[in-house]
Amino acid sequence: MTDTPTDVQLDPHPEDNSVVLARIGGSRANAARHILRAHTFQPAPGQDPDTFVLVRIDREEAHYTDAATQALRKAGITVDADPGLQLESDDNWTWANYPMPWLTREEIREVGAEAQKLHDDIAAGRLVIHRHAHDAHTVVAVGTYAAGYGVHLHGEDHLRQVTRTFDDQAEAVTEFARLYGDAVRPGPAPATAAEQRTARILAAATKPDGAPGRAAPSPATVPVYDGNPGDHEELLHSFFAQQDGWEKYRPHDETTIASHESLLMRVEFVHEPESGEPRWTVAAYESPVGERLWHATASASTPVEMVAVLLDTLISGAAEATEPAVSEKAIAHVAQPLADWTQTVAGRFIRWTPPRGDGAGVVFDAFAAQARLPADSRTWTVWGGDNADHPVWTMHLSPNTPAEVLHDLAFELAEGLCWRPRLDLRPPLLRAARAMHLDAPAHTVTPPTPAHISAGPHRHAR
C-alpha cells in the first residue's frame, strides 16, 4: 500500500460483519502490526502481510477493536473505521443468560480471554485434546500441552476453562477416565457452531477492496473418513514431544522406531512407504522377549485423526482391560458406536457402512480370526474411500487386538469431523454417480456367536 493519511483502515469482514478487517498503510506499518497482534488480530489468510483479521470465539471483537483503536491512536497512528463498525464497537453488549451472573463485565471478559487462549492453543496444535465426555449440560476434555503437562478442561467456546493441571499426560488421562468412566470418548468433541464460524472466517479469502474473493478450500467439516491424510510427520513429532517413556531411534533413513521403556509396545513409522506398504505399524508384546500379542497397520493416506486415536489408545492403557475383539460380546462392544450404520453379513464377513452408503466401513473377517497365524492375519479392516474394493485408505488389525482399541477407532470413524476435505479427482460422471447412490436393502443380523467363528475356513487335508 502507498503512504496515505490513514495508517489503519478498519472494515467489517465481507463474510461476517461482526468480524473486523484491518488494512495497514503508511510509514507506521511496522508499529501498527505489533499493536494489532497484541490485541489478538492475526494476518488474514490469502492476503498481503498488511491485512489483518479479528475473529474471536468469545464474540468480543467490538471490545478488542476499541482497545486496538485506542492503542493505535495513542501511538500516533491514524485510524479510519467504517461508520457501521464504529457504532458496533461503541455498543457495550452483554451475554444473555450468562451462567455466572455474579461476575462483572470485566470478569466475564477475563473468562472469555482465557477461553480464547485455549481455543487458539488447540487450533494451533499447542494443546492436543486426547479424550472428551459429556458432563451434565456441557463438555469436559483432557489434553496435553507441548511442554508435557496435562490439563482437564470444562465447558465450550467462551466458557471453556482449565479445572486442573497434571505433571504428564498419563496422569491426566487416567484421572479423566476415573472421573467420567463410560462417558469418555476419544479425541476432541465435534466442533461447535462458534468454532465452525471462526474456522470459516480464517479459511476464507477476501479481495483487497473488501469484496468477497475466491474462496479458499471449503472450511466446512466433513466426516473424518472423507478427510485428506494430514501431516503424518507432524503427528510423529507430536507423539515424541508428549511421551517421555518412549525411546526414539532410526535404524534406517526411511524408518523411525518408537519403543516403550517397558519393551511391551512398539511403533514403527515409514517416512516414504512404497505402494502397498503401511506407513504406521503399532504392536504390543506379551513380554520384553515374548511373542507379539497384536498389531495394527495404517496406510499413508489414512487421516491423521484415525492414527492419533490408535496411538492414544495404545499409550493411555485403555486397551489393557479388554478382551480380544473376536467373541460375540467383544464384537458387540466394537460395533456400539456404529449403531446407526448398516450392518450386513456376506459369508465370512460382517460389514458396517454409513447410513448414506459407501464412503467408509468396518469389516470383520470371521475366518481370519481363526487363522493358523493369527498374529499376522487381518481380522479387522477399517477403511475410507469410494467403496470397500477400492479404498483410499485402510487400517488392518490382527485378531488379538483389544476390543477397546477397535471401539475407539469405530467411534472416531462414526463421529469424527475433519476440516480438510479430501480432493475429489474423479471424473464428473463418477462423482455424480456416487452422489445419486441408493442403498440396497440391507440384511441386518446379529454378530456371529463364538460357535460361528470357531467353525473357521475349510482346510484341505495335508
**For residues 41 and 52, what is the distance between their CA atoms, to the nearest angstrom?**
6
| Grid coordinates of 64 | 478488542
Higher pLDDT, 234 or 300: 300
Average pLDDT, integer, range 218-227: 72
Does residue 208 have a pLDDT over 60? no
- 135, 153 contact by CB (below 8 A): no
Q: How far apart are the first and last CA of the chain?
A: 83
- 143, 316 contact by CB (below 8 A): no
Higher pLDDT, 163 or 227: 163
Read off the pTM. 0.51
The total of other beta-carbon atoms located within 10 Å of residue 374's CB is: 16
Specify the range with the lowest mean pLDDT, choosing from 67-81, 89-103, 257-271, 383-397: 89-103
Burial 82-106 (b: 16+ CB within 10 A, else e): beebbebbeeeeebeeeeeeeeeee
Q: Dump pLDDT digits (tens) for 307-351.
A: 988 988 777 665 565 667 677 888 888 999 998 899 999 888 999
Confidence class for position 375, pLDDT limits 50, 70, 90: low
Confidence class for position 434, pLDDT limits 50, 70, 90: very low
Question: Residue 390 has what pLDDT?
Answer: 82
Does residue 397 have a pLDDT over 80? yes
Residue type, 281: T
Confidence class for position 451, pLDDT limits 50, 70, 90: very low
Higher pLDDT, 369 or 184: 184
Q: Quick one: which of 278, 265, 274, 289 has its CA closest to 397?
A: 278
Does residue 219 have a pLDDT over 70? no
Confidence class for position 364, pLDDT limits 50, 70, 90: very high
Angle between helices 403-415 and 328-335 (to 10 degrees): 30
Please report how many Cα atoms fall inside a 13 Å half-sphere around the Cα of residue 295, on the Cβ side: 19
Higher pLDDT, 239 or 181: 181
Question: Residue 95 has what pLDDT?
Answer: 67
Mean pLDDT computed over every residue of the chain:
79
Confidence class for position 140, pLDDT limits 50, 70, 90: very high
| Grid coordinates of 460 | 484341505
Question: Residue 12 has what pLDDT?
Answer: 87
Does residue 213 have a pLDDT over 60? no
Q: In which residue are the cell numbers 487421516 written?
A: 303
Grouping H, G, I as helix, E, B as strand and the rest as coil, residue 82 is: coil
Q: Dump pLDDT digits (tens) for 42-100.
A: 887 766 678 899 988 888 888 888 889 988 988 888 998 887 675 555 555 666 667 78
**Pairing, β 16-24 against β 127-135:** unpaired
- 97, 26 contact by CB (below 8 A): no
Question: Residue 47 has what pLDDT?
Answer: 67
Q: With helix as H, strand as E and coil as C, how does 367-414 read? A: CHHHCCCCCCCCCEEEEEEEECCEEEEEEEECCCCEHHHHHHHHHHHH
Please report how many Cα atoms fall inside a 13 Å half-sphere around the Cα of residue 105, on the Cβ side: 6
Question: Residue 292 has what pLDDT?
Answer: 84
Burial 386-396 (b: 16+ CB within 10 A, else e): bebeebbbbbb
Please compute Rg for the chain using Cα positions. 26
Grouping H, G, I as helix, E, B as strand and the rest as coil, residue 97 is: coil
Question: Residue 437 has what pLDDT?
Answer: 40
Residue type, 148: G
Does residue 125 have a pLDDT over 70? yes
Q: Dump pLDDT digits (tens) for 224-241.
A: 898 888 888 888 887 877
**Pairing, β 79-81 against β 8-13:** parallel
Grouping H, G, I as helix, E, B as strand and the rest as coil, residue 356 is: coil
